[in-house]
Amino acid sequence: MTEIELLGPTAHGPACGTAVLKATAEDFQVNEVLDIPLEGEGEHLWLWVEKRGLNTEEAARRLARAAGVPLRAISYAGLKDRQALTRQWFSLHLPGKTDPELSAAEGDALCILKRARHRRKLQRGAHAANGFTLRLTELAADRDKLEERLSKIAAEGVPNYFGLQRFGYEGGNLGEARHFAQQGSLPEQRNRRSRILSAARSYLFNQVLAQRVAAGSWNVARVGDLLAFTDSRSFFPAGEAECSDPRLAALDLHPTGPLWGEGDSPAGGAVQQEEQGVAADAAGLPAWLADAGLRHERRILRLPINGLSWHYPEPDILQLDFVLPAGCFATVVVRELVSLATAGQTDTPCDF
């Protein structure tokens, strides 16, 4: 499937030019932001790990082997891409054990930067945000248009699509999801099941968001919308008064879209009708997600880009620095700027 089918239209106009992303791992750097003070004691050893050319699951297996513990004893907050230079936290459950020797896990691809004990394990989604440093190389773009576009997305944000990484190579994860939905079944393997359920939910969300981008309503509140703050999973209905809340203009408050699960969309009016229209056209995916035991959740439609700055280390290189909430994709920021002549592919879902 094409990018436009899996995601949707861009919001700020055609690309300002072309560039290459991920020519090297150093061109795509991610730092996990974790606002949890570590206590210095407890049965969980937390590790701040730098990895290059290694995805999160492979890093977890390396740590498990080196520590002599089962893979289930390793926890992490989010999945990070293979083709990148990333720094993220892992925790090892070591009840009654001293700190293990972990040098066997280290090498060119993995380095342990920090260690600390804590009483609790690291939970999925526990990180507050991800900080990014991206280098777009072989840049061929209209510099004036690019500067204008950068200023615009800094002020207005971008549509909060799930990135192509979520869907696998050529949308393969979504293809699997459709196959199992037609059969009314789920794969036995936990990781595979999680991957295709996530792809199906993400695709449906993207379809709703694509309709709102096309209509020009992705960044405004409508009566019947469900609103949420940037870093909150709770939401509340929008009436006439809420649609004029100044926090919407400040990019603190946003309209949301559905992450399908049990029950109908809790949105109201025309918003609910539009969301149910997407569900009706989805060949059984919403019912399949509900049968899998997922509950209906919401995700913000607009992605604010915190601390965006940029410069040109070389005439044909654009470096971007910014922070995104956990679970959001840096690649959807890039697609509002340039078309990628060559992009790195991911083989596992990741949260950027």
* Residues marked as catalytic: 81
Bridge partners of 145?
Answer: none
Question: What residues contact 179, with CB distance under 8 A and at least 6 apart?
Answer: none
Per DSSP, the chain holds a count of helices (H) and strands (E) of: 9, 16
153-191 burial by CB neighbour count: b if 16+ within 10 A, else e? Answer: bbebbbbbbbbbbbbbeebebbebbbebbeeeebeeeee
Q: Using the structure block, give the residue that is written with the tokens 């919403």.
A: 286
User: Strand 17-21 vs strand 339-343: parallel, antiparallel, or unpaired?
Assistant: parallel
Question: Checking phi first, is residue 181 left (phi over 0); if not, alpha (psi -120 to 50) or beta?
Answer: alpha
H or E segment and range at residue 34:
none
Q: How many Cα atoms within 13 Å fall on the side-chain side of residue 24?
A: 6
CA distance 126 to 347: 23
Query: Which one, of 212, 164, 178, 176, lies nearest residue 344 by Cα?
Result: 164
